[in-house]
Amino acid sequence: MLDLLINALSFFLGVLGSFLVWWLSVHYWTPAIKFSHELAEYRLSDGSSFFQCAFENCGKRPIVDVEILVRIGVDKHLGATGWAYHSVRSNASRVPLLACGKRRRVRVFDTRDKIDFVDIPSKSIREQIEQCESLRDVLELGEDAALRVHVFGYDSFSGVRKHFQSEPYRIHDIRIGTFTDLDVVRKT
């Protein structure tokens, strides 16, 4: 009888211990991305500018094979119903490793370069976007417009692919300056 009780207790403690390690591995010891609250507009001496977003791996493990996607949505463009989305290439579409505590700045729009679409929007939106001189102009199209940064990557321990997305950035989320950590500050 005592052997049966010891075996049952050992079984339940083993199951509980396994569950605890699994839960910590999947929910606590994981990578996590924190995004900046604003986009930075960095103005250059020649009058051109580029717009950046910053993010940091604030989790407990590195992220490998990081893919960064910049997605812009325009609501009710030229009377259309709903949102029209398209993705554009950034200056850092792929990063091999993002270690714990490391930050990345991603250029989401550059006035010096022609916009490079990943998935091409409808002709009417594409033509208007190509005529825009800055990200501010793009975010004024339609009744509403927003930019969102998506980060995909693999947990270095478990190999699970994770997806992280920023809050939508709108025109009022753009500040002139550069990043210090994840905050936009005026450049001197």
d(CA 122, CA 18): 51
What pLDDT shows up at residue 56?
94
What pLDDT shows up at residue 188?
52
Q: What are phi and psi of 179, to 5 degrees?
A: -90, 140
Statement: residue 154 has pLDDT above 90: yes
Give yes or no for a contact between 52 and 35, defined as CB atoms under 8 angstroms apart: no
What confidence tens digit (pLDDT) does each residue in 65-107 have? 999 999 998 888 777 788 888 888 888 888 999 999 999 999 9
Residues 6+ apart with CB under 8 A from 107: 50, 51, 52, 90, 91, 92
d(CA 41, CA 179): 10
What confidence tens digit (pLDDT) does each residue in 113-151 have? 888 888 888 888 888 888 888 888 888 888 889 999 999
Statement: residue 1 has pLDDT above 60: yes
With bands split at pLDDT 50, 70 and 90, how would you rate the model's confidence at 180? confident
More confident residue, 109 or 36: 36
Q: Which of 30, 65, 68 is nearest to 52 (CA)?
A: 68
Give yes or no for a contact between 153 and 67, defined as CB atoms under 8 angstroms apart: yes
Average pLDDT over residues 176-187: 83
